[in-house]
Amino acid sequence: MAASATVPSPFPASAIEEVCKVLGDAVKGDQIPNLIAPLKVPEEPGGPGTKWKRLFNVVVARQNKSQDGKALVRLVMEVMTPVRFDSTAEFEAVRTRVNERLLLSGFEVRKDGVVVTVRAARTVEEAQQRADDLRAELVRRDVHPDVLAFCRAELMQQNYFHAVLEASKSVADKLRNLTSTTGDGSPLVDALCFPAATPRVRFNSLATEWERSEQTGIATLMKGLFSTFRNPAAHAPRVAWATSRSDALDMLTLTSMLHRRLDKADVRQTVP
């Protein structure tokens, strides 16, 4: 049921503040007068210049007059009109952040920008999971925590391009930490995981031809990770290297597997 079809109860000031902080990041200062015009509450001259505070003050003033929550819902729909955004990815990133706040009050922004009433989330974690199904799927797959730690902010914004870039960095970072060495990318893997007979980082005992083949295979997967995802993402413009949800999910799952193998690896320290 669309929010316009029912009158929402007044929102707590804390909820209005959190939503306005997200909306403030999504708009420019000179856009605010047009966005708040439908609320029919003039801004106070000389008031706070921070964008989110300007939005917050107008919404609170309108809510106090009307004694309902229509002002915040109206502002959200004004800001979340899809045509205002340069790309679907940008719109979805803001929508996810807004929904993480609104779901706690029983509202959600749909893909068309309309605010609807839904079952209220009981916890912050539930709201985050419902707002971002990719992160929920990663949790369901038990993806390694070190992967999520490297790209937590990007996943919160549904920024798949930089999520895969940051996650790929986490593998190289773990290699360096395990061996107290420097380097990056494929040269780092070559130095630590090859030759297959006497590597510094061993994924098994290397006692059989199969185990040596596995060693080579895991090391090659790491090199492929850097070549396929990290190098293009680091050097190509974002618009030329789009990352879909499915690609991000597959890549993050692969990175999780590599982390688990590194956690169990036998690391030979260099001889002084």
Give the residue extent of every domain in the chain: 3-131, 142-267
* Cα(172)–Cα(188) distance, integer angstroms: 8
Phi/psi at 209 (5° precision):
-60, -35
Backbone angles phi, psi at 89, to 5 degrees: -60, -40
- Mark residue 138 as left, alpha or beta (left: phi above 0; alpha: psi -120 to 50; beta: remaining): alpha
| Predicted local confidence at residue 158, as pLDDT | 59
Give residue 272's pLDDT: 43
pLDDT at 1: 40
Query: Residue 204 is encoded by which pair of tokens?
Result: 């098994």
pLDDT score, position 240: 45
Residue 152 predicted with pLDDT over 90 = no
Report the alpha-carbon distance of residue 196 to residue 175 in Å, rounded. 16
Asked if 251 and 232 touch (Cβ cutoff 8 Å), the reply is: no
- Looking at residue 47, its pLDDT comes to 61
pLDDT tens digits, 77-135: 999 999 999 887 688 878 888 999 999 999 999 989 999 999 999 998 888 777 776 76
- Identify the band that residue 269 occupies on the pLDDT scale cut at 50, 70 and 90: confident
Asked whether 221 and 203 are in contact (CB, 8 A), the reply is no
Element holding 117 (H helix, E strand): strand 115-117
Q: What is the pLDDT of residue 137?
A: 72
Give the angle subtended at the CA of 85 by the CAs of 161 and 35, to the nearest 5°: 140
> What average pLDDT does this structure show over 24-50?
86
Between CA 239 and CA 106 the distance in angstroms is: 35
What is the pLDDT, as a whole number, of residue 7?
84
What is the C-alpha to C-alpha distance for residues 172 and 11, in angstroms, rounded to an integer?
Answer: 46
Q: In the prediction, which pLDDT does 265 show? A: 95
Bigger pLDDT: 60 or 162?
60
Contact 105, 130 (CB under 8 A): no
The Cα–Cα gap between 87 and 84 comes to: 9
Q: Which tens digits make up the pLDDT trace of 228-259?
A: 776 555 555 554 456 677 788 888 899 999 99
Q: Is the pLDDT of residue 2 over 60?
A: no
Rounded Cα distance between 49 and 53, Å, is: 7
Q: Which amino acid is at 165?
A: L
51 contact partners, CB below 8 Å, separation of at least 6: 24, 25, 27, 29, 32
pLDDT bin (cut points 50, 70, 90) of residue 56 is: very high
Q: Which fold has domain 142-267?
A: Four Helix Bundle (Hemerythrin (Met), subunit A) (1.20.120)
**Segment 137-149, tens digit of pLDDT:** 777 788 898 888 8
Q: Residue 72 has what pLDDT?
A: 97
Average pLDDT for the chain:
85
- Position 232 scores a pLDDT of 55
* Mean pLDDT calculated for residue range 45-55: 81
Tell me how far apart the alpha carbons of residues 191 and 152 are, in angstroms, rounded to a whole number.
Answer: 30
pLDDT on residue 241? 54
Name every residue whose Cβ is closer than 8 Å to that of residue 78 and which is 6 or more positions away in sequence.
35, 38
Percent of the chain with pLDDT over 90: 54
